[in-house]
């Protein structure tokens, strides 16, 4: 049967063109912009932490203009869809009045068959909504919306904000139609567009990049020991601070660090403490001992051992010979990596004397000798060499480590001779085998050339190798997370970073079983030494730099209050040594350039015992607060019953003058951790 009804499209061709309607064009533009913004948000959220796609894309205009700007990174498909939607808006703009005179039946358009999470599906939804919007959308009474911000990876000044006066909102009918179509297309529950937007937001949060790729040494926590069975504890001192800097960055970025990233002794030793100064260069430190109640366990006490390195006058410091070994692989092409590294080394350069020597070796992208040994007073030449470094290329690496040590040999002085390796985690410096690399560095250490490691960035950090190389190189490991940290490490603490006053520093504590039933060392898991290593000068240990402070904390249990039952057939009469000593401290160290160690001995007597932690002083309180923070953050089996509020109160009570603001920063980190991991109810 033939349909004799008039063809509506023929009538459409004979109809006069009506005057334009502003509301429809604005609605189409709004739908197109919304689709574009949502596409960009989902694309950015789906990227994985640590991949090459995280690096900023550089505009091609940098080739011609000599500078780079951040690319808007608009996908071709999204741009094409936007261009298709704009003519649609113009068509609605010029034909809406016609439909009100001669209504034309619209074909029924089903929900898009594409993936509802794709950009194509969202753009189809926007098009369907505009097509199905009723004529009631012609109302001129359209409320002005908030400014729309098109998000991209461009800098804030390059983002396009549309003012309210030029971007009218879709009419209520259009909004309702868009909500209904979205709910049908995506199978969304009742609640309309607002609820569906919430679903998208939750999904974006779930797909947000998580920190990954960083590697840490796995270790077991120090266990509780019975003094009658194992009365002696021996370990190497640790002046590294990388763990605290990394933990701080993670918390500030809204993440909890993984347990192996938390080395409690490095958290404690990040902060300076006001221990008494050392008497002379030949006796470069003297221990400060205190015993006071444990804030997280009423049955135990804390034994605090603190030392502060001797600070020689400037005229007594011999010239330094420094070689910067810099990673220029492609992964360093991020703002918190190579650019921050350059600014950090520029800070260090300002701290050097005119007689100091600087060399630069780069590996990976621009491998080779960048700067031969140069006096530090030639700052323009050194800064120019730094500025010319660029990240790129493979991580194949050259013989970077051998080049660096060769230059260190050429410029060797009677003072500090040190290679400073700066990287985001690419240690392919020319020796592929990790064990061979450690042996190479240890051998060079014996010739008087040390190695320090500076870590930059996140997502590729190989903390395990960084720690191992620094320990084998008699140097320190630091993590530079921002410019403020670079200032702390390379300006405020440059003496401790560069100028060694004592080498192979070891600590040994013997506990009196008559007064101490149990003990455990807090932290220092990766610095454990055997008892026989203490007197063996061939065994390597940590070095202390000028002015450096080091703190070690033991949690001790007085006799009669232990967690472990005494042996049925054990010796019930413990030897006291004829005194009331709680413990006996021994320290060994070598003066720079010497091979025979010196010995310091000091008993721990009741005279250094305090009944109240407040009476022990603010340094003792603060170090204990940091230890409690580290234990709780790490998920330790000890001390986790102390709440964040209690840790916070202890830290606030021991803030002191805090001229550098480091303790105030720690207080903020405790608050951040409490929000990310609330106390169990």
Residue 168 has pLDDT above 80, yes or no: no
pLDDT value at position 298?
93
Among residues 53, 46, 73, the alpha carbon closest in space to that of 459 is found at: 53
- Work out the pLDDT band at 11, boundaries 50, 70, 90: low
Which numeric CATH code is attached to 225-312+500-563+579-676? Answer: 2.60.40.1230
Handedness of CA 250, 256, 260, 264 (dihedral sign): positive
Handedness of CA 210, 454, 525, 649 (dihedral sign): negative
pLDDT value at position 28?
67
Lowest mean pLDDT of 470-479, 543-552, 577-586, 610-619, name the range.
577-586
297-308 sheet: strands from edge to edge: 225-226, 516-521, 549-558, 297-308, 288-294
pLDDT one-digit tens code per residue, 37-79: 666 655 554 443 333 433 333 333 333 333 333 344 344 444 4
Extract the tokens encoding 571.
């010796």
pLDDT value at position 446?
87
Mean pLDDT on 447-454: 92
Location of structure tokens 């064990």? 435
More confident residue, 236 or 185: 236
Going from N- to C-terminal start, the domains of the chain cover 8-206, 225-312+500-563+579-676, 318-498
- Work out the pLDDT band at 5, boundaries 50, 70, 90: low
- Work out the pLDDT band at 284, boundaries 50, 70, 90: very high
Extract the tokens encoding 350.
């300002």
Extract the tokens encoding 528.
């454990």
CB distance 621 to 653 below 8 Å:
yes
Residue 224 has pLDDT above 90, yes or no: yes
Question: What value does the CA radius of gyration of the chain take, rounded to a whole number of Å?
Answer: 33
Lowest mean pLDDT of 14-18, 196-200, 669-673, name the range.
196-200
- Residue 48 CA to residue 44 CA, distance in Å, equals 9
Extract the tokens encoding 491.
């300006």
Task: Tell how far CA 154 is from the center of its chain.
Answer: 23
CB distance 394 to 363 below 8 Å:
no
Q: Is 358 exposed, middle or buried (0-12, 13-18, 19+ CB in 10 A)?
A: buried
The residues near 608 (Cβ < 8 Å, ≥ 6 apart) are 289, 290, 291
Which numeric CATH code is attached to 318-498? Answer: 3.40.50.410
Phi, psi angles (nearest 5°) of residue 128: -60, -45
């Amino acid at each position: 049967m033939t349909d004799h009804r008039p063809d509506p499209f023929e009538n459409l061709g004979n109809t006069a063109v009506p005057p334009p309607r502003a509301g429809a064009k604005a609605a189409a533009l709004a739908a197109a912009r919304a689709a574009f913004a949502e596409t960009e948000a989902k694309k950015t959220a789906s990227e994985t932490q640590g991949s090459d796609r995280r690096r900023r894309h550089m505009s091609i205009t940098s080739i011609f203009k000599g500078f780079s700007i951040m690319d808007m990174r608009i996908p071709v498909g999204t741009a094409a869809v936007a261009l298709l939607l704009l003519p649609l808006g113009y068509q609605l703009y010029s034909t809406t009045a016609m439909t009100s005179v001669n209504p034309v039946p619209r074909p029924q358009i089903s929900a898009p068959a594409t993936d509802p999470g794709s950009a194509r599906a969202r753009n189809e939804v926007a098009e369907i909504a505009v097509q199905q919007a009723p004529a009631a959308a012609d109302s001129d009474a359209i409320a002005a919306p908030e400014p729309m911000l098109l998000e991209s990876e461009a800098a804030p000044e390059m983002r396009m904000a549309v003012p309210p006066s030029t971007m009218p909102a879709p009419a209520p009918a259009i909004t309702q139609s868009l909500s209904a179509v979205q709910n049908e297309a995506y199978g969304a529950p009742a609640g309309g567009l607002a609820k569906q937007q919430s679903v998208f937001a939750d999904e974006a949060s779930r797909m947000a990049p998580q920190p990954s790729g960083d590697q840490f040494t796995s270790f077991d926590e120090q266990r509780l020991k019975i003094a009658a069975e194992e009365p002696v504890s021996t370990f190497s001192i640790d002046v590294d601070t990388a763990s605290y800097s990394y933990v701080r960055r993670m918390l500030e970025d809204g993440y909890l660090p993984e347990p192996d990233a938390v080395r409690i002794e490095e958290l404690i030793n990040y902060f300076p403490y006001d221990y008494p100064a050392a008497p002379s260069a030949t006796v470069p430190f003297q221990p400060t001992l205190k015993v006071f109640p444990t804030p997280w366990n009423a049955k135990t006490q804390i034994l605090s051992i603190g030392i502060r390195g001797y600070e020689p006058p400037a005229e007594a410091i011999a010239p330094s010979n420094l070689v910067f070994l810099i990673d220029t692989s492609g992964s360093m092409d991020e703002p918190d990596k190579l650019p921050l590294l350059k600014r950090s080394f520029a800070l260090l350069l300002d701290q050097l004397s005119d007689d100091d020597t600087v060399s630069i070796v780069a590996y990976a992208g621009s491998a080779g000798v960048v700067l031969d040994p140069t006096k530090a007073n030639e700052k323009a030449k050194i800064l120019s060499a730094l500025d010319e470094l660029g990240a790129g290329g493979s991580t194949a690496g050259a013989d970077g480590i051998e080049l660096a040590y060769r230059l260190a040999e050429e410029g060797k002085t009677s003072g500090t001779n040190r290679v400073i390796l700066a990287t985001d985690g690419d240690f392919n410096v020319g020796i592929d085998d990790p064990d061979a690399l450690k042996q190479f560095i240890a051998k060079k250490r014996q010739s008087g050339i040390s190695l320090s490691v500076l870590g930059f960035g996140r997502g590729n950090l190989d903390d395990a190798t960084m720690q191992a190389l620094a320990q084998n190189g008699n140097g320190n490991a630091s993590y530079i997370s921002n410019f403020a940290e670079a200032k702390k490490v390379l300006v405020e603490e440059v003496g401790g970073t560069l100028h060694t006053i004592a080498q192979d520093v070891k600590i040994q504590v013997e506990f009196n079983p008559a007064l101490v039933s149990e003990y455990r060392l807090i932290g220092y898991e990766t610095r454990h030494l055997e008892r026989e290593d203490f007197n063996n000068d061939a065994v390597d240990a940590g070095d202390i730099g000028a002015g450096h402070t080091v703190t070690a904390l033991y949690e001790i249990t007085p006799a009669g209050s232990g967690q472990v039952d005494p042996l049925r057939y054990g010796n019930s009469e413990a030897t006291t040594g004829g005194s009331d000593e709680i413990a006996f401290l021994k320290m060994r160290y070598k003066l720079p350039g010497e091979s025979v160690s010196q010995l310091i001995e000091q008993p721990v007597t009741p005279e250094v015992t305090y009944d109240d932690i407040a009476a022990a002083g603010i340094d003792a309180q603060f170090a204990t607060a940091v230890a409690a923070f580290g234990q709780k953050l790490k998920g330790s089996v000890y001390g986790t019953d102390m709440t964040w509020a209690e840790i916070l109160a202890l830290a606030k009570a021991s803030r002191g003058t805090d001229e550098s603001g480091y303790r105030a920063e720690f207080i903020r980190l405790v608050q951040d951790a409490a929000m990310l991991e609330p106390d169990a109810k």
